[in-house]
Structure 1
């Protein structure tokens, strides 16, 4: 009987080593924005899990909230891969929270636009999506050819601008500053122009989702928005247009980074590479979730209309350098509070 028990135990031990089902499943924890999670699950998360035989744990929140969590757990990281705004990724890198990405492990690296390859320096991030920021307007009521046209007489009391504390806020000020002839990183000319016309602004919105409702209710006739919000605005039963001002358009970029101290470095590289693939980037673009950085992605014209799409468009966007954002944002907020919010 004793021999039989030993044999059974040996058999169970060997079976557990041989059977993948009984082995521990690798887990990758990712920190991402909370939007469009059903679409991400279908296009990205579930297919990757099937491919890698692993489990994804998804944590969501806005960029600054998730950056704070990385800082709080710096000594014992609980996140492997983080999706952040480019300037938040630079902030994390400068705080020693990220580790370089080995781009030789990314088979799709050469397929992405050059501006997305090393947007914060030191190989600390790669871009996975980008967007333009411009003005949407009621074409039956006004014409927009310049960022200065936001302050035309016909729009007084019918304009919405993003608040300085939102992602779109600094981008709007940046282009208004350029239109006003600003030449200094304090964006003084742009902030002054908004302050001069602050009584003509219906609201300084906190969420882009407010804009379609304000247009639908005819409380506004123009607003500054990111291109990712255009699809919902274009669905309105209103004559709305996306402006292409003479001064150009600005925009933003979201990036992927590997958290310093991860115990899943190889799996983290595989996940980032998969996200950058033509297959995944096409699925997300077709769902109007993300504008693709993979230059090989092709979508129909009606889909492209809802995205920031194509090499020509990508080259036309004036991004604010992440370091410029970090160096000046506190001063921008202070000047805004004194000039606009007073």
Structure 2
């Protein structure tokens, strides 16, 4: 009996050591992402990648401010391996020494990207994975939008919702309004002044695009600048709505991937980035209306293309606010807005 007990203990010890060794060898990648569409990402991106790499993904979500603050707080000992953030936030992270250059030679899908996504900030520190156009949704039976300045016409402005300066759509809309006014300076002063002159006529300065669907349905507004990612709910309204193509063009935004400085899982992070940029994954996410594809090989049906930012022509025509301009001026934008518009 004693011999059996010793053998049993030895067997248990061997099994325990084997299990511990297997656990030690399991690769874990911690990513920091927006909270948006996590169910879709899990199905189309996270789970398939885990199955392919034999690793575990730990997903942390939150807004950009929270996630950047966490990266800063753990700068000496990183707790995430890679993140997806806006272009401007990527430049901020780069300036703060929070991210490393991306070795694009290790991204097999890099050459498939639209040029606009290959090095968005021109510093080699980020790669774009999705972008969106910003233009104007409007009632085609009530108005004609040929220019961003048309929003402020006396006959239209009492039916317009304009994005608050604190939203993602606020600065781009002001940027294009300044373009239309012929006074597009980095401080956006001319555009803010023009909006301030009409502030009592504008229906609302919206904070969430979800507000706009109800306002449009109730016919309280006829037009509003929005990101293309917000367009789909408007198509479900029984109203004659159009997506404007103003003569000054469309603006927009881009989300990018960054590699945390000091991560011990750089190769795995690059493997995940490459998988996300693949034609297969980008097509699935586009068809689900989750992300507009940065991969130029993605082909989608017309009904999908009409609801996302899609195609070479669109990608090359977007007038994006340079990240340095956004970072160096946003405090001034807010101060000017609060002084003139008061919201």
- What TM-score does the superposition give when structure 2 sets the normalisation length? 0.94
Q: What residue is the counterpart of 1:8 in the other structure? A: 11
Match runs of 1:36-75 below 5 Å: 36-75=37-76
After alignment, is 55-64 or 86-95 more displaced?
55-64
Asked if residue 325 in structure 1 is aligned to residue 326 in structure 2, the reply is yes
Q: What residue is the counterpart of 1:135 in the other structure? A: 136
1:140-174 deviation digits (Å, cap 9, x = unpaired): 11111111110122223211111101111100000
Q: What residue is the counterpart of 1:260 in the other structure? A: 261
Cα separation, partners in 2 of 1:196 and 1:79, compared to 1, 3 Å: same
Q: What residue is the counterpart of 1:212 in the other structure? A: 213
Say which SS state the counterpart of residue 75 (structure 2) adopts.
coil
Q: What residue is the counterpart of 2:225 in the other structure? A: 224
Say which SS state the counterpart of residue 153 (structure 1) adopts.
coil
1:272-319 deviation digits (Å, cap 9, x = unpaired): 001100011000000011100000000011100001100011111101
1:16 CA drift (Å)? 4.0
In the alignment, the residues of structure 2 paired with residue 255 and residue 64 of structure 1 have an alpha-carbon distance, to the nearest angstrom, of: 15
In the alignment, the residues of structure 2 paired with residue 340 and residue 14 of structure 1 have an alpha-carbon distance, to the nearest angstrom, of: 67
In the alignment, the residues of structure 1 paired with residue 208 and residue 270 of structure 2 have an alpha-carbon distance, to the nearest angstrom, of: 33
1:100-124 deviation digits (Å, cap 9, x = unpaired): 1111111101110111111123321
In the alignment, the residues of structure 2 paired with residue 84 and residue 113 of structure 1 have an alpha-carbon distance, to the nearest angstrom, of: 18
Match runs of 1:77-88 below 5 Å: 77-88=78-89
Q: What residue is the counterpart of 2:29 in the other structure? A: 28
Whether the aligned pair in 1 keeps the contact of 2:178 and 2:185 (CA below 8 Å) is: no
Say which SS state the counterpart of residue 158 (structure 2) adopts.
coil
Whether the aligned pair in 2 keeps the contact of 1:85 and 1:255 (CA below 8 Å) is: yes
- What TM-score does the superposition give when structure 1 sets the normalisation length? 0.95
1:193 CA drift (Å)? 0.8
1:57-84 deviation digits (Å, cap 9, x = unpaired): 1111122221122112212211111110
Match runs of 1:249-288 below 5 Å: 249-288=250-289
Cα separation, partners in 2 of 1:178 and 1:69, compared to 1, 3 Å: same
After alignment, is 5-14 or 311-320 more displaced?
5-14
After alignment, is 151-160 or 201-210 more displaced?
151-160
In the alignment, the residues of structure 2 paired with residue 7 and residue 176 of structure 1 have an alpha-carbon distance, to the nearest angstrom, of: 76
In the alignment, the residues of structure 2 paired with residue 9 and residue 307 of structure 1 have an alpha-carbon distance, to the nearest angstrom, of: 56
In the alignment, the residues of structure 2 paired with residue 46 and residue 5 of structure 1 have an alpha-carbon distance, to the nearest angstrom, of: 38
Asked if residue 159 in structure 1 is aligned to residue 160 in structure 2, the reply is yes
1:23 CA drift (Å)? 5.0
Match runs of 1:108-127 below 5 Å: 108-127=109-128
In the alignment, the residues of structure 2 paired with residue 13 and residue 183 of structure 1 have an alpha-carbon distance, to the nearest angstrom, of: 67
In the alignment, the residues of structure 2 paired with residue 261 and residue 36 of structure 1 have an alpha-carbon distance, to the nearest angstrom, of: 29
Whether the aligned pair in 2 keeps the contact of 1:142 and 1:154 (CA below 8 Å) is: no
RMSD: 1.8
Count residues in correspondence: 340
In the alignment, the residues of structure 1 paired with residue 20 and residue 40 of structure 2 have an alpha-carbon distance, to the nearest angstrom, of: 36
1:198 CA drift (Å)? 0.7
Whether the aligned pair in 1 keeps the contact of 2:30 and 2:57 (CA below 8 Å) is: yes
Q: What residue is the counterpart of 2:92 in the other structure? A: 91
In the alignment, the residues of structure 2 paired with residue 274 and residue 58 of structure 1 have an alpha-carbon distance, to the nearest angstrom, of: 16
The unaligned stretches of length 5 or more in structure 1 are: none
Say which SS state the counterpart of residue 241 (structure 1) adopts.
strand
After alignment, is 267-276 or 69-78 more displaced?
69-78
1:187 CA drift (Å)? 1.5
The unaligned stretches of length 5 or more in structure 2 are: none
Q: What residue is the counterpart of 1:185 in the other structure? A: 186
